[in-house]
Amino acid sequence: MLAEIGVTCVFEDDPQPIGELVGGMAELVKLQRLPRLASNVDQSEFPQTDDVWQADFFHSPTFISNDDVGVERPWAAIVMDKRSSFVI
């Protein structure tokens, strides 16, 4: 399905351990400006609960390319419920 939208994936036989990957992404976040919340989004409309979630977003350390856009680093996001360790 990714090929249908022009995304090319490369299989890595020996990927980095996740700790090194996340650490590397954190270093990249320190070096860049993060996108602003869209002006048409009212953050007060998000529901409030006692749950504690941690969220982060960053430019992916890998590049993707397609004929329409060219080569770019996509934004990636990770959201985690700290109590249950549920990850989106």
Is 84 among the domain residues?
yes
Q: What percent of the chain has pLDDT over 90?
A: 0
Quick: pLDDT tens for 43-54. 788 777 777 778
Is 31 among the domain residues?
no
Mean pLDDT of the chain: 77
Count of domains observed in the chain: 1
Is 8 among the domain residues?
no
Residues spanned by the domain of 84? 56-88
Is 65 among the domain residues?
yes
Is 61 among the domain residues?
yes
pTM summary value: 0.34
Confidence of residue 39 (pLDDT cuts 50, 70, 90): confident
- Sequence-separated (6 or more) residues with CB below 8 Å from residue 25: 58, 60, 61, 76
Is 83 among the domain residues?
yes
Confidence of residue 34 (pLDDT cuts 50, 70, 90): low
Q: What is the pLDDT of residue 52?
A: 78
